[in-house]
Structure 1
Amino acid sequence: MGQSRILSPFSLVFLILGSFVVVGLCSDYKELVFKGCANQKSQDGTGVFSQNLETLFETLVSQSSAAKFYKTAAGSGQSSIAGLFQCRGDLSASDCSDCVQKTTDMSKNLCGDSIAGRVQLVGCYIRYEVSGFRQVGPTELLYKLCGSTQVSGSGFDDRVETALGEIAKGVETGNGFYTGGYESVFVLGQCEGDLGSGDCVNCVKNAAEKSKSSCGSAISAQIYLQQCYISYTYYPNGVPTKSFPSSSSSGTRHNTQKTVAIILGGLAGVGLVLACLLFTKSAFKKKTHSKYYGG
């Protein structure tokens, strides 16, 4: 099921378990989207790694009720572990805190003693890595989901391109976050909190290009890069008028499993309903994206 390949002493391959939530943002912001855990485990027999990782997680959780993004490190020297969390922009302080708590709990179960990892939920994500773990640029593709339905007819591709273009404009003036719509195409984009404005714009533009090259004329797509992500959904029959479930509803989901090498590395103003529209398109098909993590 997985792929494994060593490119260097620090090269790592990640297994992503993807879960697209059909009811999406409205179902449960604490639903798993994907996870990536380094194959390489800590060889520290003193317990320092585990202690530092626990301290890091505790710090991230403690800060998550006061901020949507926080970056820190625990420990010192070669044993230090850097990490961060990013919450979606429309989450309340309490929801952000709950989401980050969930990611740390899941990371302990899913990644264990992996020297690096990322856990992405619908509403937030965390990532961490040991000192010396090589970083890459913000535009590395981590995970993608393409709608199984391909839209035919003139004008669709131009409509999507225009809508995606609005993301780049919006994140520049919206503190790294944008959501909106254009002719029944609803989009959102978000950058990591410490990504500069210019780099954020470049990141979402790259995500838009990857969306076009990877998903073609798919009715919907989600593209996760190292430091930003975008999504679009087209509603050819107009915006659904049904009521969306609350965050306590269990909803329905389609699971996909992908073997992927991850390169490790928020929705104010418009409201949650628009966010729901971006993630409720069902029948996403499996696509495998494989890359290797050079450490």
Structure 2
Amino acid sequence: MGFGFSSKPFFIFLWFLVLFANLKPSPLVESASDYTTLVYKGCAKQAFTDPAGIYSQALSALFQTLLSQSMKVRFFKTTTGTGQTTITGLFQCRGDLSNSDCYNCVSQLPTLTDKLCGKTVASRIQLYGCYMLYEVAGFAQISGMEMLFKTCGATNVAGTGFEERRDTAFSVLENGVVSSHGFYTTNYQSVYLLGQCEGDVGDSDCGDCIKSAVQRAQVECGSSISGQIYLHKCFISYSYYPNGVPRRSSSSSYSHPSSSSSGTGQNTGKTVAIILGGAAGVGFLVILLMFARGVMKKHDGMHF
């Protein structure tokens, strides 16, 4: 019997093997950590006149100093320039960010400041994981209790006992931020909370600021399932999870991480994707082997 006819199915089988052996799986695409997502911008209406470029040089030097410090600490405040060209600025990272995440977050801010505000006498850019602000000498100061931004969840859970549970959780947050000296996260009866004060605010003033933010949240957000309140010197965030607070990486989410998370869940998504990819590969190999077996049975007695 001629070899050509019997080898055709086997040739097709080999062709499939060669084709899929040379296909490389697409790399796993991990979504960018949302700590670099923009929350809000605050830009002064007045631009500084700078024909000699003095303000621009001072501002550039300020940004460089803040960026270099963000590799070491989570809060830093400094001043550059002299006289009327003096510029005071600071950055702060969320207390649960690593040094590398803090640097990655802060490194976004100078470009965003220029893009979103331009050359104004003052600006503040808030990301989920960090913020930066600067003020030219003489800029009018505002109260530390001034509300800068709020956001409330669209879902309301009125009449379910949620408000009582949330308010008790708020009390835990108020005490925790003071005892932890400015940053605190906790889970309380399926409510995840986070609070932070600016790094140069004392414990007593921090407690007052957090308390004010809590009162704003109660009034502004009502029975919303989640909310974020940003005051000038502090901010709070809360989210209610009826089925329990999910475990996830603290640096990958702003309002939803679990304070009890040890970080072991960071690579869960990648691991699952790898397992599924491996399973798909094995499944395809089984299909090919079944195809080959069928060919062999159909042409029983033909030897290659």
If the TM-score is normalised by the length of the shorter chain, which range does it land in?
A: 0.7 to 0.9
Calculate the aligned-residue CA RMSD, in Å.
2.5
Question: Residue 63 of structure 1 aligns with which residue?
Answer: 69
**Preserved contact between residue 187 and residue 245 of structure 2 (Cα < 8 Å):** no
1:231 aligns with 2:229: no
Distance 1:48 1:181 in 2: 49
Q: TM-score, normalised by structure 1?
A: 0.73
Contact preservation (8 Å) 2:197, 2:234: yes
The answer for the alignment partner of 1:208 in structure 2 is 214
Normalized per residue, the structure richer in strand is 1
Measure the CA separation in 2 of the matches of 1:42 and 1:129: 11
Q: Give, in whole Å, the separation in 2 of the partners of 1:269 and 1:246.
A: 11
Give SS of 1:94's match: helix
Q: Does 1:125 align with 2:128?
A: no
> Alignment partner for residue 136 of structure 1, among 111, 128, 142?
142
Q: State the 4+ residue runs in structure 1 displaced beyond 6 angstroms.
A: 243-246
Partner SS state of residue 175, structure 1: coil
Instruction: Indicate the residue corresponding to 2:182 in structure 1.
Output: 176
- Give the C-alpha shift of residue 91 in structure 1: 1.1
Query: What aligned pairs does 1:242-261 form with structure 2 within 5 A after superposition?
Result: 247=252
After TM superposition, the structure 1 = structure 2 runs for residues 81-230 of structure 1, keeping only pairs within 5 Å, are: 81-230=87-236
Partner of 2:44: 38
Instruction: Output the CA distance in 2 between the equivalents of 1:244 and 1:95.
Output: 12
Name the SS of the counterpart of 1:199 in structure 2: helix
Instruction: Give 1:4's aligned residue.
Output: none
The whole-number CA distance in structure 1 between the counterparts of 2:83 and 2:59 is: 14
In structure 1, distance between residues paired with 2:74 and 2:249: 24
Q: 1:167, 1:245 → 2: CA distance?
A: 17
* TM norm structure 2: 0.71
Higher-Rg structure is 2
Question: Tell me, what secondary structure is at the counterpart of 1:56?
Answer: helix
Match of 2:51, as an amino acid?
A: G
Where 1:231 maps in the other structure, the secondary structure is strand
The one-letter amino acid of 1:238's match is: G
CA distance in 1, matches of 2:97, 2:54: 34
Pick closer, same or farther for the CA change 1:124–1:237 going to 2, 3 Å. Answer: same
Aligned to 1:152, what secondary structure does the other structure show?
A: coil
Determine the C-alpha separation between the residues in 1 that align with 2:140 and 2:205.
19
Greater relative contact order, per chain length (Cα 8 Å cut-off, separation 6+): 1
Supply the distance in 2 between the matched residues of 1:61 and 1:41 (Cα, whole angstroms). 23
The CA deviation at 1:110 is 1.4
- SS at structure 2 position matched to 1:181: strand
Q: C-alpha displacement at 1:168, in angstroms?
A: 1.2
Identity, % of aligned positions: 51
TM-superposed CA distance for 1:113, in Å, is 0.4
Q: Deviations over 1:31-76 (max 9, x none)?
A: 1111111121111211111111101100100111111100001101
User: How many pairs were matched up?
Assistant: 231
The 1:271/1:118 distance shift into structure 2, 3 A limit, reads: farther
Residues 116 and 237 of structure 1: CA distance in aligned 2, closer, same or farther (over 3 Å): same
CA deviation string 1:229-256 (max 9, x = no partner): 0011111233346x67985xxx9xxxxx
Secondary structure of the 1:139 match is: coil
**Deviation (angstroms), 1:30:** 1.1
Instruction: Check the 8 A contact 1:188/1:232 in 2, yes or no.
Output: yes
Structure 1 residue runs of 5 or longer lacking an equivalent are: 1-24, 252-266, 277-295
Q: State the Cα deviation string for residues 181-220 of structure 1 (Å, max 9, x = none).
A: 2111111100000000000000000000000111111110
